[in-house]
Structure 1
Amino acid sequence: MRVISGEKKGLPLKAVPGKSTRPTTDKVKESIFNMIGPYFEKGILLDLYGGSGGLSIEALSRGMEKAIIIDQDRKAIHTIKENLAKCKYETKVEVFRNEAKKAIKALIKREIQFDLIFLDPPYAIEDIANEIAIIADFELLKKSGVIVCEHSKERALPENIGDLTMTRQEKYGDTCISIFQF
């Protein structure tokens, strides 16, 4: 696993030890950023299932200015912090150990809006459609923002969730990438 492009291009990243997380492959990560970027001029991102932090670090390397990364796994939080330190991104990122729905509620109270949101839950606990509906209802995504969902190809997502529409979907083996926008 590595940073594919931007200011930290080529920097290797650690994976979360064990089998509790499923890291996004470099091929899928590159495809995601080709769909939504590939580069950014500032912006704030939310990663609700941080894993190793690889997607957020890639977005920061490509120009995002700040990130909030959430994960409920202790090993994932430790790995995220190690990877952020390696990239010298500690001051750009807030990291929280929390369950996704609780984190969303806390973010609603902060009245913050995001330019980019990553939803890449473990396939066994996917509740992406409900999470997108809450994000839309409470205006956590800017009107010009993008939600990137990485999910099992076995789990179909609706074309429309609230005011958000699936604008693109690509399949890579068992993985499906769905992009939602207003």
Structure 2
Amino acid sequence: MRVIAGKARRLPLKTLPGSDTRPTTDRIKETLFNILQPEIPDCSFLDLFSGSGAIGIEALSRGAASAVFVEKNPKACSCIRENLTFTKLAENGKLLAMDALQALRSLEGRQVFDCIFMDPPYEKGLERQVLEYLAESTLADEHTLIIAEADLHTDFSYVEEIGYEISRSKEYKTNKHVFLYKRK
């Protein structure tokens, strides 16, 4: 796994051994950031369920002003710290070593994020919990792009009921990215 583009281009990133995290492949990450590119320069980026931090680091490398990484696994947190230091992007990154919903509550009222990315463990309903929280939160407004990475079979039919519209969905072999905005 490596940084695809930007300041830290081609630098390798550490990942956790084993199956505790599912690192987004370079190919999927490149496709994702081709879609996100207009949003990234100078944005504030929130990377929930960060794993190795590869998505937030890619955003910083491509010009995001800041990135907040949220990860509760202590080994993954060490990996994120090492990757931020190695890529020389630590100055613009902040790590919150805690549960995603706890982190959202701790960030409440401090800023509105431009992009929020989440890649929760599959089939646990965590993306719905985060979306329900963000629907009433000051962390996202109608201009905030929210991206959920999920298993191909994850149902997002409920999102309109809680105040979102899906602007795009991109499917891969085993997973998908769903792009959402809060309705105005």
Structure 1's consecutive aligned runs of 4 or more residues displaced over 3 angstroms after TM superposition are none
Q: Which residue of the partner structure matches residue 147 of structure 2? A: 148
Contact 1:49/1:121 (8 A) holds in 2: yes
Q: Which residue of the partner structure matches residue 28 of structure 2? A: 28
Report the Cα offset of residue 181 of structure 1. Answer: 1.6
Q: Secondary structure at the match of 2:143?
A: strand
Q: Does 1:10 align with 2:10?
A: yes
Q: Deviations over 1:86-123 (max 9, x none)?
A: 11111111101111111111111x43210010110011
Report the Cα offset of residue 143 of structure 1. Answer: 2.8
Contact 1:136/1:163 (8 A) holds in 2: yes
The correspondence of residues 64-143 of structure 1 with structure 2, limited to 5 A, is 64-108=64-108, 110-143=109-142
Unaligned runs of 5+ in 1: none
Aligned partners of 1:71 and 1:37: how far apart in 2?
24
Q: Which residue of the partner structure matches residue 55 of structure 1? A: 55
Contact 1:132/1:161 (8 A) holds in 2: no
Letter in 1 for 2:144: G
* TM-score when normalising by structure 2: 0.92
Higher deviation after alignment, 81-90 or 141-150: 141-150
Identical residues among aligned pairs (%): 33
Contact 1:40/1:64 (8 A) holds in 2: yes
The correspondence of residues 169-180 of structure 1 with structure 2, limited to 5 A, is 169-180=169-180
Contact 2:39/2:115 (8 A) holds in 1: no
Count of residue correspondences: 181
Contact 1:44/1:67 (8 A) holds in 2: yes
Letter in 2 for 1:31: T
Aligned partners of 2:175 and 2:161: how far apart in 1?
20
Report the Cα offset of residue 18 of structure 1. Answer: 2.3
Aligned partners of 1:79 and 1:68: how far apart in 2?
15
In angstroms, what is the RMSD of aligned CA positions? 1.5
Higher deviation after alignment, 94-103 or 135-144: 135-144
Report the Cα offset of residue 161 of structure 1. Answer: 5.2
Q: Which residue of the partner structure matches residue 42 of structure 1? A: 42
Report the Cα offset of residue 145 of structure 1. Answer: 1.7
Q: Secondary structure at the match of 1:151?
A: strand
Letter in 2 for 1:147: I
Letter in 2 for 1:6: G
Unaligned runs of 5+ in 2: none
* TM-score when normalising by structure 1: 0.93
Report the Cα offset of residue 136 of structure 1. Answer: 2.3
